[in-house]
Structure 1
Amino acid sequence: MSVSNAAAGTSAVLPPPSRLTPALGLAVEHGIDDFYQGAVPALVPLLVLLRGYDLIQAGGVVLAATLLSSVAQPAFGVLADRRPLPWLRPAGLLLAAGGISAVGLLGTYGAIWVAAMISGLGVAAYHPEAARAVHASGGGDQAMGWFTFGGLAGYAAGPPVTAAVLGTLGLAASPLLALPAVAAAAAGLIRLRFRSVPSLTAAAAQQQGSEDWPRFALLTVVVVLRSVAYFGVVTLVVVHLTSRRGLGLGAATAVLTTFTATGAIGTLLGGYLTRWADRVTVIAASYLLAVPALAGLAFAAQPTVLLGCAGLLGLALHVPVALHTTLGQQYLPRHLGTAAGVTLGLAVSAGGLAAPVLGAGAERLGTTSLLAIVAALPLLAATTAAALAQRQPPETADASADHDEWITE
């Protein structure tokens, strides 16, 4: 890869189907893992109704599972970079499932809080090694796109499936939710038992090229800005449309649903757009498109216009998500786990930390003004992404084939 191409973050051409096959298996596995993160919000009404918890206590359970998970991911990434730890994937699946399963069986709030925390740690432990395996598959941006799509699909399935199972059978049926993870972990452990996992020697690591921490720091800023913008939308848009634009709850929810649905498509689309443009260009252009779309949500009143803006915004904010990780791994070829842990972890935790500030800002300034301010964040992200292309990094080889990690086939 030339220096100029590395600066732009180019991706390989469309990989053959044989290289995408492992990624599709990893996407299913990722969906199972993130299903347990998605199950946590569905526990809130059940804990309130069946255990008599107030909303603060129920919210504490959500905080224990989600925020700690996101914050812990970079730490697991650093750990995974010290030596290959493919067993973290099945272990993470089992911890994620075990914690959620225990919530329905435990009687005290403290024990339930700890169980939720354990589930969150399991989710965190899974991601860095899984992202390394996606890199090792050789599928490039397309593989990471499918992997990310699988996680979003699993997360989206968590609330309705959890509500259906536990709402019908009661909290005591929570161990049933662990069955997908047990099956996936068992299959993975069997595969791991009969597959050698070579360690990454210093010589092999050196062949992967130099690392560019300054550009990775700039990429981290982009990830944080996108995370805050995303949480601003999901936190404020329904309240804004019902209170300021006079839409009914159903219509406002349809706008938010359009945003999330097109977002899932965007995660896949991003990987394929890099066939025609480099990663940095795709990222920057996507965030530029997000600015007018977000402004439209803030100021438009017609339902059709709002649906169109929501659809465009969903694409624009989700196209770069998988590319953040592949670009981060390109910048840190000897710290693939760290790159994945930071780009995947901060994608959730940064916005989650900013959510209370966004809520307070909406109370003080109004939702219209705050959404207009949030619309500036994608512009800042696009500007920061453009700076990535202007810096001249060390030449970096993409040696994904050198990582024979535990890959789902």
Structure 2
Amino acid sequence: MSSSTTAAAAGATSTLQPGGSAKPTMYRILLSISIVHLLNDSMQSVIPSIAGVLEESLKLSMSQIGWLLFAINFTSSVMQPVVGMYTDRRPSPFMLPMGMAFSLIGMLTLAFAPSYMTVMIAVIFVGLGSAAFHPEGSRVSSMAAGSRRGLAQSIFQVGGNVGQSLAPLFAKFIFIPLGQFGAVYFTAVAAAAIAVQMYVASWYRGVLASGGRTARKAVTRTIDPARKKQLQFAIIVLILLVFCRSWYNAMITGYYQFFLRDHYGVTLSDAQTYIFLFSIAGAVSTFFGGPLADRFGRKNVIWFSMIGSAPLAILLPYVSLTWAYVLLIVIGLILLSSFSVTVVYAQELFPGKVGTVSGLIVGLAFGLGGIGALAFGYLIELYGLKSVMIASSFLPILGILTFLLPSDRTIREWTKDV
């Protein structure tokens, strides 16, 4: 092990010691894993962004597009909790570069895919790569967080959200001019991500080798058995909130481009700008959501993100193109401010299960988004795009369920140090 790796491991170990010892935040590791998150999610988000390209080049129906969106989201979501449960028992630094290798294969296959089924295979590989990355990426974020868990999770998640926000620009400047072949450029993105992952994995191995696993167990928290049912109810409510947010997000990122084309006469290329504004606003709010939650409480931020975005979402289908720009930015800022917060909130509900819980909540967000995309595809064919767009705009109102969640202080009372 190099001296730099040893120093990194020692520094990380100090964040994990019991008692009152210093818990420094490892910003260079957080920045590295955030960059990889950006690269990973930019590749994953390419799939919904090029739906219009695939529709025209392969003559796909809306339901076929829905199946592709379902495949990318559901593949990653189903495997994330599985990977998380495995790595909770056996932390696996090698999982980080291995996931990127799957994504590289997927993007290379997509570039030369001659048929719908080949595209589906490519999409599944990208989904599997994302599933392998997210639980261990979230674990690295937690290990490097020190005492600033909200900020650390925001740094990690903002990379992913920025990557997602770039996907419409990739569609506009790469895929619409070049078609599917533009995916070949993302093999270089995957290769760069593998290189950064090797650095992070080296630090990760150093932490484990220096006793980080033992230290981590020494300061973990556990559930009060008398409160187990309340905590299970809370996670169910949280999942319902993630459901609402994910379905609305799937509608905007997957189908709003077609709404703009059919009802405003906007080209698919120009429509990507609207999707980009929504996504980049969400990336900005993801970063600030964590620190705001550290200050004002996680439940409060979750509540505001849902209820605050609801009236604007309802207005969106009826406004002019100019106001659509404004509303998409504001909705993205408010709605996605809770993206990282829900992950940390779930980790507080079930301490000691970082990989499993992160895989469940983040994976669930993608999985439910995939189910939503599939359902919306069929509903659009049955009832029309505008009707489904209007109906989906009411989803954030269900954020009123947030009042059923226990407060941050209550959760701390329901768990204890061991």
Give the TM-score range, shorter chain: 0.7 to 0.9
Q: How far off its partner does 1:355 sit?
A: 2.1
Matched, 1:357 2:375: yes
Matched residue, 1:209: 222
Residue 228 of structure 1 is matched in structure 2 by 247
In angstroms, what is the RMSD of aligned CA positions?
3.9
How does the TM-score come out when normalised to structure 1? Answer: 0.77
Tell me: CA distance 1:397–1:21, structure 2 relative to 1, closer, same or farther (3 Å). farther
- The within-5 A match list for 1:41-56 is 54-55=59-60
Name the CA distance, whole Å, in 2 between partners of 1:91 and 1:134: 18
Q: Give the whole-Å Cα distance in 1 for the aligned partners of 2:404 and 2:49.
A: 41
**Pair 131,217 (structure 1): closer, same or farther in 2 beyond 3 Å:** same
Task: Give SS of 1:274's match.
Answer: helix
- Structure 1: which amino acid aligns with 2:237? L
Matching residue of 1:388: 405
What TM-score do you get using the length of structure 2 for normalisation?
0.76
Q: Structure 1 stretches of 5 or more lacking a match?
A: 1-14, 403-409
Write the letter of the residue equivalent to 2:87. Answer: A
Report whether the alignment pairs 1:96 with 2:96: no
- Matched length: 381
Give the superposition deviation at 1:335. 1.3
Is the Cα–Cα contact under 8 Å of residues 330 and 396 in structure 1 kept in the other structure?
no
What amino acid sits opposite 2:292 in the alignment? L
Q: Deviations over 1:150-188 (max 9, x none)?
A: 112234445756974994987777754542133223323
Letter in 2 for 1:351: G
Asked if the contact 2:102–2:129 (Cα under 8 Å) also holds between the matched residues in 1, the reply is yes
Within the candidate set 193, 196, 199, 1:184 is matched to 196
Match of 1:329 among 330, 334, 347: 347
Q: What amino acid does structure 2 have at the position aligned with 1:55?
A: L
Residue number in structure 2 paired with 1:140: 149
CA distance in 1, matches of 2:184, 2:377: 35
Q: Which moved more, 1:213-222 or 1:113-122?
A: 113-122
> What secondary structure is seen at the aligned counterpart in 2 of 1:55?
coil
Change (3 A) 1:205 1:214: farther
Q: Please point out which of 86, 89, 98 is paired with 1:82.
A: 89
Render the CA deviation track for 1:301-359: whole Å, top value 9, x for unaligned: x3343322222111122101010111111111121111111111121221221223324
Partner Cα separation in structure 2 for residue 385 and residue 355 of structure 1:
24
Identify which of 316, 335, 356 aligns with 1:297.
316
Aligned ranges 1:335-354 → 2 under 5 Å: 335-354=353-372
Instruction: Give yes or no for contact 1:106–1:112 (8 Å, CA) kept in 2.
Output: yes
| Identity in percent | 24
User: Partners in 2 of 1:62 and 1:205 — Cα distance?
Assistant: 42
Bigger shift: 357-366 or 90-99?
Answer: 357-366
Per-residue deviation at 1:376?
Answer: 2.7
1:196 paired residue among 208, 217, 220: 208
Shift in alpha-carbon separation, 1:395–1:268, aligned structure 2, 3 A? same
Bigger CA drift: 303-312 or 99-108?
99-108
Cα distance 1:195–1:143, how it changes in 2: closer, same or farther (>3 A)? closer
Structure 2 Cα separation of the partners of residues 97 and 193 of structure 1: 24
| SS of residue matched to 2:296 | coil
Secondary structure class of the residue paired with 1:86: coil
